[in-house]
Amino acid sequence: MSRLDNYEVLNQLKYIDGITIIDNKGTILFTIKFNPIFHSEIREREEILGESLFTVFPSLNEKSSTLLNSLKTGRPIFKSKQEIVDFMGRKIETTNISLPIRAHGKIIGAIELSKERSKEDSISNNAIEINSEMFRGDKRLLESIRPERAKFTLKDIITDNEQMKNLKRLTEKTAKGSSPVFIYGETGTGKELFAQSLHNASNRAEKPFIAQNCAAIPEALIESILFGTIKGSFTGAENNPGLFEIAEGGTIFLDEINSMPIHLQSKLLRVLQDGYIRRLGDRNIRKVDVRIITASNKRPEDCVKDKDMRLDLYYRLCVMTLNIPPLRERINDIKPLLDFFISKYNVLLHKNITNVSKEVYDFLLRYNWPGNVRELEHIVEFAINQIDEWEDTLQMKDIEDRVKNFIKHSEEEFQIEPLKDAVARLEKIMIEKAINKTKNNVSQAAKLLEIPRQTLQNKIRLYEIVPKS
């Protein structure tokens, strides 16, 4: 969430009328609601103490609950509208701030300060609401908020791999110019890291770096968010700059560019061609000086082939392409990355791991790393979190829980069983993977699996696959 949105939440949260504290398992330790609406809507306070947040509010998950999100990320989370459905199926809307609770360097829980969302806070049209949340407010204030700096530089990219070293050199050279850069790499390979480093290595480093994930904004809002609006262009619209104007002089990083609808891609083409943008509803055009970095975890050629990207846009965006190799293709990076993450979490979690057992190391070299560097970091974080203070060696038992599915599938001798059962089991795994990878988009998942959408629908029902939220 951007600092702009955070400001918006603080603006709405002039007071609070509820406090909730959970422990690191999501158990409710304390809750008090001063607003009578809650007393009729949820169970008695005493009754829900010690229960899991999920039981009391079955609609919540890590994404929708600020408490759980804060617990997971270890960061403060601001949210202007959290919808909760209580166990009776009734809806309540709140504005929340959640903060993680730390003790001895560990996150042991989270606290939420909340307020029932009032009528004035709610605008019936959801689409306009998101837009106004981004842009509502005093323009001077908006201008005074400096976008966050890109924090990573090329030095932060740890590698011993020749291909990666070349990529770093190429990034440094490319940074000097202004041409668009396309970054391709599987999930967790470091695309954002490269995008930020490129910005910081350029002479735009002192100017804004604005990152926007194209898959994260509703289609109807992409245009106004990127290019801005003119008062009256639609209900509730104000005179507001879009991200291109906010990024003036700096860099805009459009992540998951392949999820931008094709008809909007042509508008992007216009900026790329002549550097002009037009705010939604404006008759005039405006000149902007912004470098465009785009990224996708699908090969650019495949984006074109699958009609996720216009061919003309592809030619413009891919003037310079950085292909980040997956971790399994650069296993000599495992050791330096492992050492780096161990030192990082030793400091953060007050542990003192100095060795890694041979068994763990061998395993890490054999593993296929579907989540790449991010997954390696998570495995180390997980292990160091639960390791005892007096231990100095990372052992297989410390990472087993995290990687046991892989171990089970790769190392367990397969038992003879009816072939149709074995095939069905694999089919289910593949479908779950495709559904997760495409964030529950059945059409895209069907494409990945190369089967008709309807067939996939039938199989999802057959295997009772529930999408992960």
Q: What residues line the site for ligand ATP (CB under 6 A)?
A: 157-159, 185, 187-193, 297, 337, 373-374, 377
User: Which region, judged by CB under 5 A, interacts with Mg ion, from 124-132, 184-192, 236-244, 286-294?
Assistant: 184-192
The item of ligand ATP, Mg ion, none sharing an interface with residue 188, based on CB under 5 to 8 Å by kind, is ligand ATP
Q: Which is nearer to ligand ATP, 193 or 292 (CB)?
A: 193
Nearest CA among 159, 33, 141 for reference residue 86:
33
Beta bridge partners of 28: 22
Pairing of strands 393-394, 355-356: parallel
Structure tokens at 414: 């397969």
* Rounded Cα–Cα distance for residues 104 and 97 (Å): 23
Q: Which is nearer to ligand ATP, 191 or 459 (CB)?
A: 191
The item of Mg ion, ligand ATP, none sharing an interface with residue 241, based on CB under 5 to 8 Å by kind, is none
At its nearest, how many Å lie between Mg ion and the CB of residue 352? 32
At its nearest, how many Å lie between ligand ATP and the CB of residue 149? 15
Residue 147 DSSP SS3 = coil
User: Which region, judged by CB under 5 A, interacts with Mg ion, from 159-167, 186-194, 449-457, 461-469?
Assistant: 186-194
At its nearest, how many Å lie between ligand ATP and the CB of residue 62? 16
Residues 188-227 that bind Mg ion (CB under 5 A): 191-192
Structure tokens at 172: 């440094």
At its nearest, how many Å lie between ligand ATP and the CB of residue 444? 16
Q: Which is nearer to Mg ion, 96 or 297 (CB)?
A: 297
* Rounded Cα–Cα distance for residues 192 and 415 (Å): 43
Q: Which is nearer to ligand ATP, 101 or 376 (CB)?
A: 376
At its nearest, how many Å lie between Mg ion and the CB of residue 218? 20
Based on C-alpha coordinates, what's the Rg of the chain?
24
* Rounded Cα–Cα distance for residues 351 and 68 (Å): 25
User: Which region, judged by CB under 5 A, interacts with Mg ion, from 185-193, 240-248, 323-331, 399-407?
Assistant: 185-193
The item of ligand ATP, Mg ion, none sharing an interface with residue 157, based on CB under 5 to 8 Å by kind, is ligand ATP
At its nearest, how many Å lie between ligand ATP and the CB of residue 340? 6
Q: Which is nearer to ligand ATP, 9 or 254 (CB)?
A: 254
The item of ligand ATP, Mg ion, none sharing an interface with residue 448, based on CB under 5 to 8 Å by kind, is none
The item of Mg ion, ligand ATP, none sharing an interface with residue 100, based on CB under 5 to 8 Å by kind, is none
At its nearest, how many Å lie between ligand ATP and the CB of residue 263? 25
**227-230 long-range CB contacts below 8 Å, 24 or more apart?**
227/267, 227/277, 227/278, 227/279, 227/280, 228/277, 228/279, 228/280, 228/282, 229/131, 229/135, 229/279, 229/280, 229/281, 230/279, 230/280, 230/281, 230/282
Cβ neighbours of residue 174 closer than 8 Å, sequence gap 6 or more:
181, 198, 320, 322
The item of ligand ATP, Mg ion, none sharing an interface with residue 71, based on CB under 5 to 8 Å by kind, is none
* Rounded Cα–Cα distance for residues 117 and 133 (Å): 14
Structure tokens at 310: 């216009």
Alpha helices per DSSP H over 50-121: 53-56, 66-73
The item of ligand ATP, Mg ion, none sharing an interface with residue 297, based on CB under 5 to 8 Å by kind, is ligand ATP
Which residues lie near Mg ion (CB under 5 A)?
191-192
